[in-house]
Amino acid sequence: MYMQNKLPNQQMNLYTGNLAILKLNYLLLFYLFFSAVKTMRGYSTLTVYLYIQVSVCLRTVDSFIERPAYIIPESPVIALGSQLRASCILNDSFIKENKVDANQIFWNLKGIRVSEDNYHTVNSTVSNVTLNMSSVGNAFLTCNVQLNEDQVITVFGIQIKIGLPPEKPKNLSCITYHRKNMTCSWNPGNSTYLPTSYQFKLSIAPDNLKSYQLPNDVNNSYAILFPNIHYFVFNTIWVEVKNDLGNATSDSIQLDPVDVIKPDPPVITSVQQIKNMSTVLSVKWEKPSVPATYKLKYILRYKIVGSQKWMQVPPEDTDTRKESFSIQELKPFTEYAFTIRCKRNDETGYWSDWSLEKIGKTPEAKPLRGPPIWRTIENLDSSKRTICIMWKELEMSDANGIILKYKMTIKKKSSMNIKKIETKKLEYNITLSDGEYEITLSASNSAGDSPNEILILPAVTESAFLPVQNVSTYPQDGQLMVEWKSPGSAVSGYVIEWCEESIKDSCSEPLYWQTAQKAASKVFLKDNIMPFKRYKITIYPMYSGRPGAPRSNLAYLQQDRPASGPLVHLKHVGKKEVKLMWSEIPVNEQRGFITHYTIFYRSCTANETSLSIVVDAMCQEHELTSLKGNTLYVVRVMASTVKGGTNSSEVNFTTLSYAKGEIEAIVVPICLSFLLITVVTILFCFNKRHLIKKYIWPNVPDPANSRVVEWSPSTGNLIQNNLGPKEPMNPDGFISDVTIIEADVDDEKYLSNEDEIKQLTSLKKEKSTSEEHSSGIGGSSCMSSPRQSVSDSDSESAQNTTSTVQYSTVLVSSPGYRCQQPSAQAFARSESTQPLLENEEKADEHAYGNFGSCSSEVKRQYFKQHASIEETNLNEPHPNEAEILGDTNEDNSFRLNQMEVSDQNSDLKGFCPTVDTFQSSNNQTVVKLEFLGFRAGLETDQQSYMPQAVKHNSYMPQSK
């Protein structure tokens, strides 16, 4: 960074001219002080001391202000576009002290370093620079020395003035203001940008030259006061100008000051009316002060007050010595403004300024025409119509005065009755019957009545004349323009009415209207038109006072976006669609014509973009489709005009999980299918009920009520209740299974007598009615499971008695036949997992039967019902055949496959158990008991059943 020290202008002036003055001031100060102390004794030493100090100070100051360099020329003035050659000369002492030379000099102009191509070194002390002056104004040129890499010093500087030489003044002219001054002016030309002086020179004679120096701030005019003006003598006038770059002189002019006089404006003294002349005003004025021989002419002009158009009286009409004039063909009762000016009659000199305006007003006259008239009709289809007759005030140009009253007549066409009304108001309400009426209206002022204005009110049934065509409205120049096409040449005028539409197709009061001339095809609505308001505009063509058919249009002076959005609600929500409805925005909030609606909707899931649909402005509802089921959506509707749109509030809805009818389409087929399957299943079960009963609900006998356990093998009689301790049976320990085989009535082997065959035949027929209530010895032996004997474990048998049914095993030692009693029989208990019936849990309510001989009758009760044994066929295995199979090695159990029991009492005649014993294929001994002609009665006394111990495969009846 180079350090620069620029010398201020004050120091430069000190270097150039003030050094000698500074030394002189110090010497004067010393002299004065010396004189003062000279008169004082004993102060000689002090005087000498002060002299020495002052000398030292003078030397120090002289050394301080010694210039290290200087520039030639010091204060140059350069013309724009010329060259400046300057030289910077270094002081020898500065060179020696700083050990520099001219090669280390560089130049700055206006703070910008000058290119080295523009300067060169002459010798060790002088450096020249050549500059082209391309801009006007003041510029600062400095000479700088580079002492070292980091230090720069400005040794000297000068100020350069750049400008232009003065131009020749042009268009020199003078104006004389009588008894004031004569002012001369000229065009000084372009600015010189340098101090320039002007001199105004006037010569009346060669020996009478006057020169006037202009002030520094004035360069284009000079005024000579009135006492120094010489009338009727030619004055020679010119202007001289000069500056540092040159001088110039204007062309001289010769003139007589009286020939260049500009008079003062005349003064209008009065504007007066002329009696009985409503179109004439008289104007009077006073002439200005001019020389006695000076003759003037005038120009008078006037205009209607408030208008910008002036009308002028021809100069030849006022070129007289008079100082008044009457102006004709003015409008009655109209204010006019008048003004006047003057000039020398011989066309020398200048026109004076216009005088101040003076106002005058013409008298009243009869109104030129009647006031415009119109009407509104209520109850148009009724026999009684309410008519509001309206009219407008006349324009001032048509009224010709102050309207005092209005005169109106109402006459029905088919009647001679005339109703006359006089009023000061601008409307009149009346109720008229059906028919055609003629209404006339006139305005009156102090001068008389206007012509009548006629309005025809046609009958209700009368058809209207043709309407106008192609009505259009549009804003223009801040007003609302209405344009139409005329329906024909018979039209005498037009009536345009408009009102603000606050409700759709309905106007709000008040109603505005205006008239238009016959030749008009468009007109501006004059007043009562506001922006952002909707107006209904109606045009009526007039046919000699008779209105034609109306033609309407809607318009806005200025539109904007709606003030509020539509109100949106949901009409229907489905699975993949939703139907939206929105109400129309109120007219006073639309602020413009609705061009379209835009529906924006999106789902509330993440990263879902908003979709939009544009709907016509006539639509008030729309259905969105292709939506997702069971999804939350947000929707809004934007109403738009030509200026923009406004959104409604957002509405949320969730689509359905199922579409309409989708649930029914699923449920109904399922229900029908289930019903069909149910019906088919019921029919199938009903048809196969015997198989269902066989495999699902087989008849299982109740062993607790069996009489086999009480059958004594020694006697063959049934053991009665409350017997004593039972002896062990079957001492041989031989256990055999018992198979109960049904005998067929056709088997002659077992059925010898006819009575037995009949009884068994009757029993077989009752089989079907007794299956559901049977509980004999029969049943499926597969339902039982092997159990241990009671004697094996007392505790175990006690637990098993509550959960198992104990069957009996017949112990046989030898076969028997029919009514023969086996020699040795015993019964052993068997256990089954078949649950006991409800009656079996109550021991005191159970009844047990006894098996006896053929002659004995035993009654057996089970569920308080009677049982019978079904006939069996011994030759062919019966489906319900019961077999009691016993395995001597694993399980000694008594398995009863089936016993058929009827639901009524029956006697088994000839109970003849026949026991046949044979060896089966698996080394089991099978005992077949054949009951043929069995007759047993049911006993009513109750028997208790107690678990009985089995020892050595013997059965011992137990007492309670």
Give the least confident one: 256-270, 551-565, 573-587, 910-924: 910-924
Q: Which of 828, 860, 831 is nearest to 927 (CA)?
A: 828
Burial class (CB in 10 A: 0-12, 13-18, 19+), 636: buried
Give the least confident one: 133-137, 307-311, 374-378, 852-856: 852-856
pLDDT, tens digit (0-9, with 9 covering 90-100), for 319-370: 767 788 999 999 999 899 999 999 988 888 999 999 999 999 999 999 999 9
Q: Which CATH code of 3.30.565.10, 3.40.50.880, 2.60.40.10, 2.60.120.640 fits the domain covering 9-163?
A: 2.60.40.10
Radius of gyration of the chain (CA): 74
Contact call for residues 280 and 362 (beta carbons, < 8 A): yes
State the Cα–Cα distance between residues 251 and 240, nearest whole angstrom: 10
State the Cα–Cα distance between residues 195 and 214, nearest whole angstrom: 13
Q: Which residue has the higher pLDDT, 770 or 163?
A: 163
Whether domain 469-556 has CATH 3.10.20.30: the reply is no
Q: Which residue has the higher pLDDT, 914 or 408?
A: 408
Q: Which CATH code of 1.10.3720.10, 3.30.70.580, 2.60.40.10, 3.30.1360.120 fits the domain covering 267-361?
A: 2.60.40.10
Q: Under CATH, domain 567-654 is a member of which superfamily?
A: Immunoglobulins (2.60.40.10)
Q: Is residue 584 scored above 60 in pLDDT?
A: yes
Place of tokens 């087929």: 669
- What's the start-to-end Cα distance of the chain, in Å? 138
Give the number of C-alpha atoms closer than 13 A to the C-alpha of residue 149, restricted to the C-beta side: 0
- Number of other CB atoms surrounding residue 453 within 10 Å: 19
pLDDT at 422: 95
Q: Which CATH code of 2.60.40.10, 3.40.50.2000, 3.30.530.20, 2.30.40.10 fits the domain covering 170-260?
A: 2.60.40.10
Beta bridge partners of 269: none
Beta bridge partners of 341: 299
Place of tokens 């959960």: 803
Q: How far is CA 949 from CA 232, 711, 796, 830, 943, in A?
A: 185, 16, 12, 10, 18
Q: Under CATH, domain 373-431+440-456 is a member of which superfamily?
A: Immunoglobulins (2.60.40.10)
Angle between helices 19-38 and 44-64 (to 10 degrees): 170
State the Cα–Cα distance between residues 518 and 493, nearest whole angstrom: 4
Instruction: Give residue limits of the domains in the chain.
Output: 9-163, 170-260, 267-361, 373-431+440-456, 469-556, 567-654, 705-960
Q: Which two tokens stand for residue 453?
A: 């204005």
State the Cα–Cα distance between residues 483 and 505, nearest whole angstrom: 21
State the Cα–Cα distance between residues 838 and 802, nearest whole angstrom: 12
State the Cα–Cα distance between residues 888 and 923, nearest whole angstrom: 9
Q: Which of 297, 295, 262, 299 is nearest to 283 (CA)?
A: 299
State the Cα–Cα distance between residues 314 and 296, nearest whole angstrom: 15
pLDDT, tens digit (0-9, with 9 covering 90-100), for 726-737: 444 444 444 444
pLDDT, tens digit (0-9, with 9 covering 90-100), for 684-698: 888 888 888 888 877
pLDDT at 708: 63
Q: What angle do CA 590, 592, 595 make, to 5 degrees?
A: 95
Q: Which residue has the higher pLDDT, 603 or 4?
A: 603
Q: Is residue 257 scored above 80 in pLDDT?
A: yes
Contact call for residues 767 and 867 (beta carbons, < 8 A): no
Contact call for residues 775 and 862 (beta carbons, < 8 A): yes
pLDDT, tens digit (0-9, with 9 covering 90-100), for 762-817: 444 444 344 444 333 333 333 333 333 333 333 333 333 333 344 444 444 444 44
**Average pLDDT rounded to a whole number, residues 840-863:** 38
Q: How far is CA 666 from CA 629, 663, 679, 868, in A?
A: 17, 5, 20, 55
State the Cα–Cα distance between residues 454 and 543, nearest whole angstrom: 11
Contact call for residues 442 and 450 (beta carbons, < 8 A): yes
Which run of H or E residues covers position 693?
helix 689-695
Report the percentage of the chain scoring pLDDT > 70.
66
State the Cα–Cα distance between residues 476 and 555, nearest whole angstrom: 12
Fold agreement (9-163, 170-260): yes
Q: Is residue 33 scored above 80 in pLDDT?
A: no
pLDDT at 897: 36
Q: Is residue 392 scored above 90 in pLDDT?
A: yes
pLDDT at 65: 54
